[in-house]
Chains A and B, each alone.
Chain A
Amino acid sequence: MRRSLATLGAVALLALSAAITEAVAEPGVDDNRILLGGSNALTGPVAAVCAPATYGAKAWFDKVNRDGGVQGRKIEYNVLDDGYAAERALANARRLVQQDNVFAIFGGCATATSAAILQFLSSQPDVPYLFPWAGMSELTEPTKKGVFALLPNYVFQVKAMLPYTIQHANQKPKTGAILMMNVPGVEDMRKATRAVFEANGITVVYDELFEVNVPDHTPYILQLKAKNPDIVLFGDSAAGAAKMFLTMKRQGWHPQTGFGVATLTAEQFLDPVGDYADGWLSAAGVVSPPSAPEASECNDALKASYPDQKPNHFTMFGCLAAKIGVEAINRAGRNLTRQGLIAALEHMQNYETKISGPISFSPTDHMGTNAVVPFGVKNGQFIILGPPLRPAQ
């Protein structure tokens, strides 16, 4: 009896799986549509930070579609939620490529999930993977056929801007500390930071990693306070860093100088922290803040598609990525192929987006930006401290 039941179940499952038909068409492009796919943390611990990147990009695609599309095709952008779990991102990528037949994987956010997608695509090198918001060097080093990035990786951010921060500190720091979230690529960044500290005669007195979404930063801040370093490198998600700063406030201690990675240029960090970080924190920025005049185009598009979403760093980044994506699709021409898109990107030189520095790719360099913008905090608002910075060679 049980066996018959099992057989019945097997047959039912078969019927079910047969119903999910296999498509074999040319991936993601037809006469009036381009299908882009993405996997992003639309829910979960980093959703507030990451999801706006998707909305910013979608809003820009909507605007382009309203204006007639690209070469007569509308862009359809289908983003699956991965909840910031690498395994779900991997499953999403598999689904997008094998089931939904997307033309390219676009966007995404956060390191662990991007790394997972990257891994999946190693078996699908022809699928373009464009502009995830992730700071790991593996995206573009070594150059991978279909993978293009915009966000300078963490090591670049540190090399470009940490020396500047040290030189512009109120008092020359003698002791330094590193407090980083344990994400892929963190070891490279620790090494780079230690090297910069060493080059500037700073002794590292504290170096800890903590888990993503740690509920309470108190033990770290207590230890930091006991070591009392002059300068601290903070690497955390925007909300996580905000928690950390509020914990410092509660414990009545902060370093003379703080340096933050690009996440700390997000509003989700600064809003809760307010003016507490005034004058002592600087962070590496990539895209213009939404308050800048040149951001209005992106903000308007966002307002049209997502009236409830406040413009922030990540909507700006999504907008930037979408702008560049649209430009590349346009340059690839009416006869759109994956090869054509990759070629168009590789020939993009000094493309002016207005909301970032000029964007350039080449066949050997798939990293589009090559400078970071130094952000500071004044009266609880971000300010630009100076012109874009590049690492000293």
Chain B
Amino acid sequence: MIPRRGILAVLAALVALFVVDLFVGGYPRYILTLWLIYSLSALGLNLVMGFGRLYSLGHGGFMLVGAYGTAVAMNHWGFPAPLAIAFAAAFAAIVGVFVGLPAIRLRHFSLAIVTFAFGITLFQLVKSFAYTGGPLGMFLNVTGLQALWQGRLLWYAAALLALLGLAMSYSVTSSRTGRALRMIAANETVARSFGIHLTFYKLTAFALAALLGALAGGMHALVTGIAAPDTYGPDLSILMFAAVMIGGQGRLFGPFLGAAFVVAIPELTQGAGALAQIIYAVLFIAVVTLLPGGLLGMLETGWRRASGPLVRTAVAGREGTLQ
């Protein structure tokens, strides 16, 4: 359970932030900010997909709601940025409940298709209304915000939100809610017979996923300065899906690794030109095929091998009870 370890983790993260701040600025910091934002979004998707086994291919849609919600609140209603993001996230949580409705009866393939369709529909809707800026999208007046505190503000804000997302992920998954979700994923009938309300938990999972996704989307819009439809189209949904799978679904820190993969690989291979996308795709397939537990699964296995004696003790303890 949390306390000591959690506090240590948060402290470690804060130290890391500070160190990054010392050594990294400008463009690298922008890339790291994107990494945190994608991690935050993947944390949300990991709740429905990793723990609830509800396959959502529409997570980009929640990020879209976050980005456009923030943009609309700022540009049309004059909200300040933090309030705009909060509004967008709250709105997205409601949207999440509605997107979750089909999940009450659908699973696997059908659910993936319906959520995918949701993402594409949103993407086309914002593209066709002038209120949301049409095909160009909406530019956010954030040059001041981006420059604030020498560009550090958004970096720290993203870090803070990612930590919050992590904490929320942790408390959901290690609590009654998380267990209920995992039980539903394992067997719905059994879950019901233990008094778990399927609809409530599925919708809760989608609402929380939407909330985190929208926070990430809003931050993304602030950091890039634009809420453009193409950014939040079906490709983003696939990207987030890939990030969760690559990191290791159903693992608390998996989203961070997965997001690092999808952000870092294209960035590091930028010099390879058109070959970059091929490299990315090959690595993606390799990770998914060779490491079904994702990158984190691989690290855990490696760790377990390295610390063999510990495991042997555990096995011995297990055998001891058979008398």
Contact = CB atoms under 8 A, between A and B. Distances in A.
Q: Do chains A and B touch in the complex (CB under 8 A)?
A: yes
B143 A122 contact: yes
Contacts of A209: 128
A341 B79 CA distance: 39
A82 to B, nearest CB: 10
A7 B12 contact: yes
B228 A87 contact: yes
A13 B137 CA distance: 32
Nearest to B253: A6
B274 A90 contact: no
A363 interface: no
B25 A81 contact: no
Interface in A8-27: 9-11, 13-14, 16-18, 20, 22
Given A5-B296, A87-B224, A212-B135, A13 B9 contact: no
Nearest to B303: A1
B13 to A, nearest CB: 7
Interface in B27-47: 27-32, 35
A85 B20 CA distance: 30
B253 A10 contact: no
Given A187-B130, A211-B124, A17 B28 contact: yes
B137 A14 contact: no
A16 B26 CA distance: 14
A81 B231 CA distance: 15
Interface stretch (A112-120, A142-150, A166-174, A251-259): A112-120
A334 interface: no
Interface string A174-194: 000000001110110000000
Interface string B253-278: 10011001000100010100110000
B8 interface: yes
B3 to A, nearest CB: 13
Interface in B143-177: 143, 146-147
Q: Name the prevailing secondary structure of the A interface residues.
A: helix
A348 interface: no
B24 A18 contact: yes
B228 A5 contact: no
Given A20-B28, A22-B25, A86-B230, A182 B127 contact: yes
Contacts of B281: none
Nearest to A211: B127
B102 interface: no
A43 B252 CA distance: 37
B136 A184 contact: yes
Contacts of A111: 136
Contacts of B147: 123
Interface in B267-320: 268, 270, 273-274, 296, 299-300, 303
A81 B135 contact: no
Interface residues of A, number: 45
B253 A112 contact: no
Nearest to A86: B228
Nearest to A4: B303
Interface stretch (A59-67, A68-76, A92-100, A273-281): A92-100
B135 A119 contact: no
A42 interface: yes
A11 B15 CA distance: 11
B76 interface: no
B136 A115 contact: yes
A91 B127 CA distance: 20
Nearest to B225: A119
Nearest to A20: B28
A80 B267 CA distance: 12
A17 B253 contact: no
B30 A87 contact: no
Nearest to B299: A5
A17 B273 contact: no
B194 interface: no
B32 A116 contact: no
A3 B303 contact: no
A250 interface: no
Nearest to A138: B136
A286 B264 CA distance: 42
A380 to B, nearest CB: 32
Contacts of A16: 264, 268
Nearest to A182: B135
Given A14-B19, A87-B228, A116-B226, A22 B253 contact: no
A29 B103 CA distance: 58
A111 B128 CA distance: 16
B5 interface: yes
B23 interface: yes
B260 to A, nearest CB: 6
5 contacts: A3-B8, A10-B13, A14-B20, A16-B268, A187-B134
Interface of B: 5, 8-9, 12-13, 16, 19-20, 23-32, 35, 124, 127-128, 130, 134-137, 139, 143, 146-147, 224-226, 228, 230-231, 251-253, 256-257, 260, 264, 268, 270, 273-274, 296, 299-300, 303
Interface of A: 1-3, 5-7, 9-11, 13-14, 16-18, 20, 22, 42-43, 80-81, 85-87, 90-91, 94-95, 98-99, 111-112, 115-116, 119-120, 122-123, 182-184, 186-187, 209, 211-212
Given A9-B260, A85-B230, A90-B228, 7 more contacts: A14-B20, A14-B23, A20-B28, A90-B226, A112-B135, A116-B226, A119-B139
